[in-house]
Structure 1
Amino acid sequence: MKRLQSISKAYEYNKDRHTAYMHSARADELDVQWYQSPQWRRLSSQIHVIDLYTCRICGHVQLPNETMVTDHIIPRRTAPELAMTASNLWLLDRTCHNKKTAIERKRTPEQLKIMTRDEWIRLLE
């Protein structure tokens, strides 16, 4: 029971944090409408199934009421032509996604364009 309460509290915290984030100035940068498109939602759902609801970095399995992130291996802003390419997508939990995003901010677009799935795994493990 305590575990369920803990998960529930974490979900409420993340939901509130996510809502605040989506209403921040950064949401414009992310092009929220694109991420809400039916095409993206369908592809994202497919990636969840392909990756078995499991973070490709740490192996964390998605719990009920927990969100995972369908992430672009090569960021969408760096390679928009790969935005809807399944081979450029993978499922990450929030912690691994946040670590990856922090590293991305320190790299140039040229460096990001040549990053592979295996290189990201080595950096983030």
Structure 2
Amino acid sequence: MSIQSERLVPTVDFWAWRSLGACQEHPIELFFHSEDTPRGQRRRNEREAVSICGDCPVLQTCRDHALSTGERYGVWGGLTENQRLRILSRSRSLVSVDDVERRAGERHPISAGIFASDLAGSSD
């Protein structure tokens, strides 16, 4: 077996959790919209999809997958496209506690977990 083939994840095993998803019993259009879907309908579909996800046995696995792979489209793990984008943007903007301490020369108890957007005074 080559080194490269040892790193490959079998597709069936990788996606096995999806067959347990609550979404499997609903139309895909609730979870993924087309470009021509009117905004109001898109929002209604997203709310319904998020509600369905709330009772899903693989919600966390689905959410982890979407966040770790940077899934751009659809509702995954109860999170909409915009919600995931905000989460991922914030995680990339996380101010390192070590960086803050190094620059300041002392410990700042409020530095842990502060986002760059929080420092700029933006609200969400």
Q: TM-score, normalised by structure 2?
A: 0.27
Higher relative contact order (CA 8 A, sep 6+): 1
- Choose between structure 1 and 2: higher strand proportion: 1
* Bigger Rg over Cα: 2
Q: TM-score, normalised by structure 1?
A: 0.27
